[in-house]
Amino acid sequence: MAETKVEKVHKTEEEWRQLLTPEQFHIAREKGTEPAFTGKLYYNHDDGIYRCVACGAELFTSDKKFESGSGWPSFWLPVTPEAVETHEDNSYGMRRVEVDCARCGSHLGHVFPDGPKPTGLRYCINSASLNFEKKQ
């Protein structure tokens, strides 16, 4: 199977700062997080697609979202395997796997091995890293 190449988006930190709100910039570009249960998309149950707040790349679909009780929007599968990249994250004295947008490198959240079948994964994603496009 051929690997799909993702066209990368490159901007300076100043360009990102002008494009994003201060909260979005802190989370997406400085690897921050929003407090649990406060994100605008945590309680979203509409049908549609979740896109990267920074570059607009399609990341997750509503049919792969589930209620994890974690306080952040949670998905069991990205829209394609190439949509996200993962990296080891040892910050704050924890061992976690960070999830970034493959197109622009923006921080999205983390993935954990305690999600539902069929993948068993829980992509725990910050609302501030996402824009939601409701299905028409």
Q: In the structure encoding, which two tokens stand for residue 59, read together? A: 């990341």
**Identified catalytic residue from 57, 124, 125, 130:** 124
The annotation status of 101 as a binding-site residue, yes or no, is: yes
Q: d(Cα 81, Cα 87) in Å, to the nearest integer?
A: 14
Task: Please answer whether residues 110 and 95 qualify as being in contact, where contact means their C-beta atoms are separated by less than 8 angstroms.
Answer: no
The annotation status of 72 as a binding-site residue, yes or no, is: no
Chain-centroid distance, C-alpha 14: 22
Report the b/e string of 14-26 with b at 16+ CB within 10 A: eebeeebeeebbb
124 belongs to the catalytic site: yes
Q: d(Cα 115, Cα 122) in Å, to the nearest integer?
A: 4
Of 114, 67, 60, nearest to 84 by C-alpha is: 60
Q: Which residues are annotated as a binding site?
A: 52, 55, 101, 104
Q: Which residues are annotated as a binding site for Zn(2+)?
A: 52, 55, 101, 104
What residues are labeled active site? 124
